[in-house]
């Protein structure tokens, strides 16, 4: 296994422009597990003033992807194939925390589960739960090549 | 039916802080259909420089919600129960467009399908497809009450 | 709460023609939890000789529905709105066991998670995991009315 | 491409013990498309006398798998990674028909959509819609080896 996987995960997270734009932080990464949180801001809301499902989903997806990525060799890249998320309660609170874990780790495909909690007055309430399929792409760098970067922007 | 549903949808969209923060625009809303687009910015990327799945999902979710909301009476509010999304190709391009439609319109629950296209050099490529369950909440305003607004922020 | 909910669940299970046809048994039902198992037969296979995903899904769905139904009042009926299932390993073994639990119990909608295990040489191996949305239908009997029964068959 | 893919699909279908046990028929298979139907019997019901979601799901899953398999080389085997299904109306009628099509055909993963219709008094009513991820397994026979067959039964 790759001894530098924690650094790889942290560097990849910092390259995700969306995570910075949402103000999300990578709280913890362990083998097969990842935790991401984001504080409340008006820029993150849906029409009632709660966190938008897009924010809940974005941190659940990144946490699931990095939980899976932590178990991949260094020359692999991580790709979300699909996910399903149930929004079980309004995401109302000061902060959202997504906790993801690998449920089944195949060579090519990994299945992850994530729970998202809304923190309000210090108490955590489950507001969403997801199930994801993540793919390991062998021989593809996790960073954009200069060519790829240009083409991605186009 | 409500003769003002188009205005209701547009006003609700403008209250979604996240849609403004992502730079998303409500392109079109018809009975049972909705289209939302967002232009490429570095703030919206994942680690390879493509649009992050969180952006793809956020506009697919809002488009699905508003497609459903267009068929609800004025004193109802819209809530995403759950969705599943397949990310079928890299979201690489200048712009993403989400097009959602109501597949089945029950009184309480509506099922919506959405396709998301990445526009590159003028061509649209399918990059994601989703299936959502949306709930109509009778007697709940679509806007936050002053009490709710405060509690949402807390 | 209904003191007779265990009997209600068992009677409803016995009315499911498919569960009998597959040879499935209701092993246990507790408040918010349900366990169903089915023994291997050639009639239940896919092309490689493993249990077909349709069997895995059917017992995961019935177990999820009855976990939810156990928490409903007696004049309510149970309906699966949707589910997603990941088939994480070949369902190879003598027996399949589905264990479902209610993750979130709303008045109208309940969210359930189920795991399905293949039992082989006495060991249980996770072969599938699902996430379901279940609806409580107030004022609708769980049994077919004579009219309904006729119309269902037509 | 394989000139014998239609025969491959039909032979594989006949090896699925469950399809025979349910009385399901392979109606049509075209490149990237498949249709399966099943007639009403009491053995296929849920508690209200409608078709059980397990039947609806089983034919949607097999139709999706064979739509995908029709686009695979002859030395490949087909595997359902996951699917999500919305049960949008009671499956009440004389017959169920599942129609599946490949939405996106990657080399390793294919994404399929399926609609299931209940036929009643000659009219087709949409009762379910699904979205599936299907995997092509290179170098794995679609038929059980004698060893595999034995191990599957154990």
Residues B111, C133 contacting (CB under 8 angstroms): no
pLDDT, position D149: 43
The verdict on ipTM greater than 0.85 is yes
* Terminal-residue alpha carbon distance, chain D: 36
Tell whether D79 is covered by a domain. yes
Helix (H, G, I), strand (E, B) or coil at B147: helix
Per the listing, tokens 């697919």 go with: B60
pLDDT, position A3: 78
- Burial status of residue B154 (CB atoms within 10 A of its CB: 0-12, 13-18, 19 or more): exposed
To the nearest 10 degrees (0 to 180), the angle between helices B53-69 and B5-15 is: 150
pLDDT, position A1: 66
Q: How many CB pairs under 8 A join B and C?
A: 15
Spatial separation of the C-alpha atoms in residues D71 and B6, rounded to whole Å: 43
pLDDT, position B1: 66
Tell whether B152 is covered by a domain. no
Mean pLDDT for the stretch of residues A8-19: 96
Per the listing, tokens 């009450």 go with: B145
Tell which of D131, D132, D135 to mutate to test the B interface (max B CBs under 10 Å): D131
CB spacing of D133 vs A108 below 8 angstroms: no
Tokens of A119: 């923190």
pLDDT, position B149: 43
Tell whether D95 is covered by a domain. yes
Of C81, C84, C111, the CB nearest to B109: C81
Tell which of C68, C80, C87, C88 to mutate to test the A interface (max A CBs under 10 Å): C88
Q: Which of A81-85, B3-7, B79-83, B111-115 has the lowest mean pLDDT?
A: B3-7
State pLDDT tens for residues D100-110: 999 999 999 99
Return the DSSP state at B83.
E
Tell whether B154 is covered by a domain. no
Looking at beta carbons, which residues of chain B come within 8 Å of A49? 144, 148-149, 152-153
Which residues in chain C show pLDDT less than 50? Answer: 147-154
CB spacing of B17 vs A83 below 8 angstroms: no
pLDDT, position D142: 86
Tell whether B97 is covered by a domain. yes
Tokens of C145: 């009315």
Tell whether B135 is covered by a domain. yes
Tell whether D151 is covered by a domain. no
Tokens of C154: 């037509």
Looking at beta carbons, which residues of chain C come within 8 Å of A88? 103-104, 106, 111
Residues C89, C118 contacting (CB under 8 angstroms): yes
CB spacing of D126 vs B113 below 8 angstroms: no
pTM of the predicted model as reported, rounded to 2 decimal places: 0.94
Residues A2, A74 contacting (CB under 8 angstroms): yes
* Terminal-residue alpha carbon distance, chain B: 36
Mean pLDDT of chain A: 93
Residue B26 has pLDDT above 90, yes or no: yes
Which residues, other chains included, contact C150 with Cβ-Cβ below 8 Å and sequence gap of 6+? none
Question: Phi, psi (5° rounding) for residue A46?
Answer: -100, -170
Which residues in chain D show pLDDT less than 70? Answer: 1, 145-154
Residues B68, B78 contacting (CB under 8 angstroms): yes
**H or E stretch covering B148:** helix B146-153
Tell whether D76 is covered by a domain. yes
Helix (H, G, I), strand (E, B) or coil at D23: coil
**Domain total in chain C:** 1
Q: Helix (H) and strand (E) counts for chain B? A: 4, 6
Domain that holds residue A31: 5-153
Spatial separation of the C-alpha atoms in residues A127 and D28, rounded to whole Å: 44
State pLDDT tens for residues B80-117: 999 999 999 999 999 999 999 999 999 999 999 999 99
pLDDT, position C146: 54
CB spacing of B18 vs A43 below 8 angstroms: yes
Spatial separation of the C-alpha atoms in residues D101 and B19, rounded to whole Å: 33
pLDDT, position B2: 74
pLDDT, position C3: 79
Length of chain B: 154
Q: CATH number of the domain that A29 lies in?
A: 3.10.129.10
Residue A151 has pLDDT above 80, yes or no: no
Residues D62, D97 contacting (CB under 8 angstroms): no
């Amino acid at each position: 296994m790759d001894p530098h996987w924690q650094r790889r995960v942290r560097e990849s997270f910092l390259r995700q422009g969306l995570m910075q734009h949402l103000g999300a932080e990578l709280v913890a990464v362990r083998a097969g597990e990842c935790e991401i949180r984001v504080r409340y801001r008006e820029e993150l809301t849906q029409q009632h003033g709660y966190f938008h499902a897009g924010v809940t989903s974005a941190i659940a997806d990144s946490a699931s992807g990095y939980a899976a990525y932590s178990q991949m060799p260094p020359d692999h890249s991580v790709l979300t194939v699909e996910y399903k998320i149930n929004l079980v309660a309004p995401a109302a609170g000061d902060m959202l925390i997504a906790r993801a874990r690998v449920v089944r780790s195949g060579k090519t495909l990994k299945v992850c589960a994530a729970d998202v909690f809304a923190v309000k007055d210090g108490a955590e309430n489950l507001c969403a739960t997801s199930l994801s399929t993540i793919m390991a792409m062998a021989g593809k760098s996790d960073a954009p090549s200069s060519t790829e970067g240009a083409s991605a922007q186009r």
